[in-house]
Amino acid sequence: MGAGGSAWKRAQEARQYERELREQLRAAQWEVRNWEAASEGERQVAAKLQVLTRRGWRLLLDRRWPGTRAANVDMLLVGPGGVFVIDVKNWRHAPGTAGGHLTAGGRTHDGEIGKLLRMTRTAENAVTGLNLSPVAVQPLMVFAGRSVNAALGTVRLLGEREVTPALVAERTRLRPADVRAVADHLERAFPAYESTAVPSRPAPARAPAPDAPDDVLFDAEGIRNAALEAARSAPIEQWMTFLHPEQLALVRRNWSGPARVSGPAGTGKTVVALHRAAYLAARTPGRILYVTYANNLPRVQGTFLRTMAPAVADRVDFSSLHAWAGQFLRDRGIASRLDPGKTENAFSWAWKSHGRGTILETLDPVPGYWQEEIDYVIKGRGITTFEEYASLRRWRRRTNLRRPHREAVWALYEGYERNRIGTGVHDFNDILALALDEALAHPGATPYTSVVADEVQDLTFVGVRLLHALVGDADNGLLLVGDGQQAVYPGGFRLSDAGIDVRGRGQVLRTNYRNAKEILDAALAVVADDSFDDIDGTPTAGRRDVDLAYGDGRVTRFTAPTRAEHDAALLAALRELGPVAWPDTAVLCRTGTERERYRRLLTRAGIPAITLEQYDGRPVPGVKLGSYHRAKGLEFKHVHLPDHDAPAAAGQGDGTDDGVARERRELHRSQLFVAMTRARDTLWLGTVSRPQGG
Ligand SMILES: Nc1ncnc2c1ncn2[C@@H]1O[C@H](COP(=O)(O)OP(=O)(O)OP(=O)(O)O)[C@@H](O)[C@H]1O
């Protein structure tokens, strides 16, 4: 059939579909005719929604509002798109929204919005027992006889014409069995009024009123388009709707100050953090700031939140901490000049004059270690005097620095600072320090009522203090989410040193939902002997107890005598997975240089690849390629770690102190652990068998 023929066929199908919808509407009008408690307008709205019952939705009409003496809830609608608590308005005047208020006939009706939100809370509480996340329960006001499409906070305002297409277009949150379970549950929690004689289950489709007028407020074409659109957008994952009871309790908990959620890799910390952000956004008038250290993660997490809770997504700001601090300074009119190239030069010059040939070289001749000492230990912890540094406990630094070493480090630090200030530039630590000063000087300068920090183990002391300064010890203000075992940068600090008290407000998650057992065992074997202290001061063993929720998986180890053979095996493994699996596949490398190398290899082999810097959480048809650092917080069905046990380039050469070398190895093991735990189903570990010392 030619293009014209198939277009004709599609038009025929569309007309047929619309005819069926109109027949369904007529049958629905017949079904709701006995709803005595309702006005004609409400009956018309109910008929429109009753049409959805042919598409897997359940409509509960005129229910008692539990906890009140005699109040009712007009409708509860449960379907693939979630739970909707519906208030129908049959107003004489057209509704409007002005300045954040619901208006009609020159009056405001904010009380109606408040009432609907309270009903929604009751429904949210009712479904907690089913572990349904609050993001799946939404308030909806429908205006009989009107055409409206607006929102006030989390409340959607739809006209009789718009409501059915809008609900058909909702993304899939509940499977058919879930719809049944949730609707049955709500039916019991919100009992029917006796007067309501409307069947709550779909009645057989029939058209008993053939002469029913064609309804101009029924948008059959809109419903057809919405159904097509909903089919195109892939169903979102189940976990976005159902949480473990422990996770749900954390999402809904009322914390009387800063709080901490920790737990081993894959235990759903980010899931809790995202649902918590959505929950808070629905309840507070202020904005929510969601930050991480890595700058690719906020994009991905923002995409997830928009998918699961579109009504609140515009009130949550996702950003990396450094990008946010830079913007904050600009907004406050504070000059800063971030210039990584020039600050690198400032350090090189300082090393030449204050590092090379000094006592520091006896511990590690590689300047990188000492640059980290300045970045993470001195500036990252906001140390400004030698006396503070002289007695500082250097968390996660394994080498012992005696006073002469510390004096030498301090001279290097001062040299660096002189050079940097001389060229008029700032490093990343300066940006955070400037932002902290500004936040402390002007409390309340930002619109945030809550701040959620994910992967908090990689933020510096100054960074965490900055976030704390934004919300202080306010109830539900600061939530720190992360896992000390997954720290991929040197140094560390204790929350108590930063004046952040999370005692009694800490929770550890224990069920791993991501990794197959074989994969988690292989990853834990890498860090089994590396006990660590978390930022809240809890000493933790490297091999941790976790409950596993996920099924079978496979770890493949491949050793080749040469790099060429190793790379050929990697390509063969990727080809074996095939193009369908590539979007769920990642190749992760230790360094950015290695990543570039593998990017060229994949390109030459004709395997499409995108870097994690380009990835924003939406599906793309290619293998993801990135460094271990960039992969943090993400997950893939298939993970490949080429040359994963190559000796680390720096810090293991001749003349390196044992403590420094040990610290390096520990850090590399943490990074490898993070990379390995990104894998859900299969993990490929490549090795090039180098000659000893090579
Ligand atoms: N209640 C749940 N039921 C089923 N799957 C879940 C549940 N909670 C989380 N998951 C799944 O577990 C995986 C890991 O979740 P998440 O990324 O939030 O863990 P995490 O603790 O932040 O991990 P990491 O620290 O390793 O980055 C995700 O695929 C998520 O979909």
C-alpha separations of 584 from 475, 512, 524, 624, 625 in Å = 39, 19, 23, 8, 11
Q: Which among 128, 236, 238, 239 is the best mutation to test ligand 1's pocket, defined by most ligand atoms within 8 Å of the CB?
A: 239
Q: Find out whether 89 is annotated in a ligand binding site.
A: no
Q: What is the pLDDT of residues 664-692, one digit of tens each?
A: 888 899 999 999 999 999 999 999 997 65
Among the residue ranges 244-253, 351-360, 530-539, the one predicted with the least confidence is 530-539
- CA separation for the pair 638, 232 (Å, rounded): 25
The pLDDT score that the predictor gives to residue 231 is 59
Q: Which atom of ligand 1 is nearest to the CA of 482?
A: 25
ipTM of this predicted structure: 0.98
**Residue whose CA lies nearest to ligand 1 atom number 8:** 268
Q: Find out whether 265 is annotated in a ligand binding site.
A: yes
When pLDDT is averaged across residues 607-616 and rounded to a whole number, the result is 92
Q: What is the pLDDT of residues 562-592, one digit of tens each?
A: 999 999 999 999 999 999 999 999 999 999 9
Asked if the model's pLDDT at residue 72 lies above 80, the reply is yes
CA-closest candidate to residue 604, choices 571, 580, 573, 627 = 571
- CA separation for the pair 537, 493 (Å, rounded): 9
When pLDDT is averaged across residues 47-71 and rounded to a whole number, the result is 90
C-alpha separations of 432 from 322, 323, 382, 516 in Å = 7, 10, 10, 39
Asked if the model's pLDDT at residue 213 lies above 70, the reply is no
Q: Which residue has the higher pLDDT, 207 or 373?
A: 373
Q: Which residue has the higher pLDDT, 207 or 628?
A: 628
Per-residue tokens: 24: 């369904």
Q: Find out whether 384 is annotated in a ligand binding site.
A: no
Q: Which among 269, 271, 681 is the best mutation to test ligand 1's pocket, defined by most ligand atoms within 8 Å of the CB?
A: 271
189: left (phi over 0), alpha (psi -120 to 50) or beta: alpha
- Distance between Cα 513 and ligand 1 center (Å): 5
The pLDDT score that the predictor gives to residue 650 is 45
Which residues is 87 bridged to in the sheet? Answer: 141
**Residue whose CA lies nearest to ligand 1 atom number 3:** 239
Q: Find out whether 562 is annotated in a ligand binding site.
A: no
Q: Tell me what the pLDDT averaged over the chain comes to.
A: 89
**Residue whose CA lies nearest to ligand 1 atom number 15:** 268
Among the residue ranges 82-96, 221-235, 518-532, the one predicted with the least confidence is 221-235
The pLDDT score that the predictor gives to residue 163 is 94
The pLDDT score that the predictor gives to residue 200 is 47
Q: Which among 236, 241, 513 is the best mutation to test ligand 1's pocket, defined by most ligand atoms within 8 Å of the CB?
A: 513
Strand pairing report for 316-320 and 287-292: parallel
Let me know: does 510 contact 549? Beta carbons within 8 Å.
no
The pLDDT score that the predictor gives to residue 692 is 57
- Distance between Cα 249 and ligand 1 center (Å): 16
**Residue whose CA lies nearest to ligand 1 atom number 27:** 633
- CA separation for the pair 686, 565 (Å, rounded): 10
Whole-model pTM: value is 0.86
When pLDDT is averaged across residues 110-124 and rounded to a whole number, the result is 95
Let me know: does 439 contact 462? Beta carbons within 8 Å.
no
Q: DSSP state, 236?
A: P
Q: Find out whether 114 is annotated in a ligand binding site.
A: no
Q: Is the dihedral of CA 589, 593, 596, 597 positive or negative?
A: negative
| C-alpha gyration radius of the chain | 29
Asked if the model's pLDDT at residue 205 lies above 70, the reply is no
**Residue whose CA lies nearest to ligand 1 atom number 4:** 239
Residue 211 confidence class, pLDDT cut points 50, 70, 90: very low
- Distance between Cα 527 and ligand 1 center (Å): 20
Q: What is the pLDDT of residues 395-413, one digit of tens each?
A: 888 788 999 999 999 999 9
- CA separation for the pair 30, 206 (Å, rounded): 9
Residue 471 confidence class, pLDDT cut points 50, 70, 90: very high
Pocket of ligand 1 (CB under 6 A): 237, 239, 243-244, 247, 263, 265-271, 483, 486, 513-514, 633, 635, 677
**Residue whose CA lies nearest to ligand 1 atom number 30:** 268
- Distance between Cα 626 and ligand 1 center (Å): 20
Residue 197 confidence class, pLDDT cut points 50, 70, 90: very low
- Distance between Cα 325 and ligand 1 center (Å): 28
- CA separation for the pair 571, 151 (Å, rounded): 50
Q: Which atom of ligand 1 is nearest to the CA of 244?
A: 1
Let me know: does 60 contact 77? Beta carbons within 8 Å.
yes
Residue 204 confidence class, pLDDT cut points 50, 70, 90: very low
Task: Give the percent of the chain with pLDDT over 90.
Answer: 63
The pLDDT score that the predictor gives to residue 233 is 54
The pLDDT score that the predictor gives to residue 238 is 60
Which residues is 25 bridged to in the sheet? Answer: none
The pLDDT score that the predictor gives to residue 493 is 85
Q: Which residue has the higher pLDDT, 176 or 536?
A: 176
